[in-house]
């Protein structure tokens, strides 16, 4: 991993409770990892959720950003507009997700762009889906279970 470029000042609001963030601060809290846009499979017997390396068709797999973010629900109606209240009810939300971390009153990690001052740090740290995510359109749904993944960090 390349050395991360530190910005001069981390915004003071990153440590504010989530329900006190402005809409702009809330949006900026996203680390741009794209993990939440990966398709998931649920075990019908146990309810366990498994992530796959297949990603929503609207995700730019290089930038790891939604290509239609402001109007995404026109195309993907089930895409969630995350709120503070949702977080405890979303067991699938990645353990690295900035919203989960702050909800649990944990600090943002050094690779988070707000801490590092560099948008690339989330990719350089191996947290984002860049490099392995494949569009869901490339694999028939019947074969998705062959793409189950496990995160180690």
Does position 94 interact with ligand SF4 (CB under 6 A)? The reply is yes
- Spatial neighbors of 142 by CB under 8 A, at least 6 apart, are none
Does position 58 interact with ligand SF4 (CB under 6 A)? The reply is yes
Stretch in the footprint of ligand SF4 (CB under 6 A) among 11-19, 31-39, 42-50, 103-111: 31-39
* Two tokens, residue 130: 């860049």
Does position 79 interact with ligand SF4 (CB under 6 A)? The reply is yes
Does position 113 interact with ligand SF4 (CB under 6 A)? The reply is no
One DSSP character per residue, 47-92 reads --EEEEEEE-TTEETTTTEETTGGGHHHH-TT-----GGGGGG-TT
Point out which residues bind ligand SF4 (CB under 6 A): 30-37, 56, 58-59, 66, 72, 76, 79, 94, 97-99
């Amino acid at each position: 991993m390349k050395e991360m470029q530190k910005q001069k000042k981390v915004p003071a609001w990153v440590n504010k409770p989530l329900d006190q963030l402005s809409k702009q601060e809330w949006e900026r809290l996203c680390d741009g990892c794209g993990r939440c846009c990966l398709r998931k499979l649920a075990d019908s017997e146990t309810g366990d959720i498994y992530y796959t390396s297949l990603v929503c068709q609207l995700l730019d797999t290089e930038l790891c950003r939604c290509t239609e973010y402001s109007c995404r629900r026109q195309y993907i109606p089930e895409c969630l507009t995350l709120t503070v209240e949702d977080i405890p009810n979303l067991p699938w939300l990645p353990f690295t997700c900035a919203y989960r971390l702050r909800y649990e009153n944990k600090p943002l990690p050094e690779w988070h762009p707000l801490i590092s001052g560099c948008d690339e740090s989330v990719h350089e740290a191996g947290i984002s889906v860049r490099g392995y995510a494949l569009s869901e359109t490339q694999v028939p749904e019947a074969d998705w279970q062959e793409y189950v993944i496990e995160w180690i960090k």
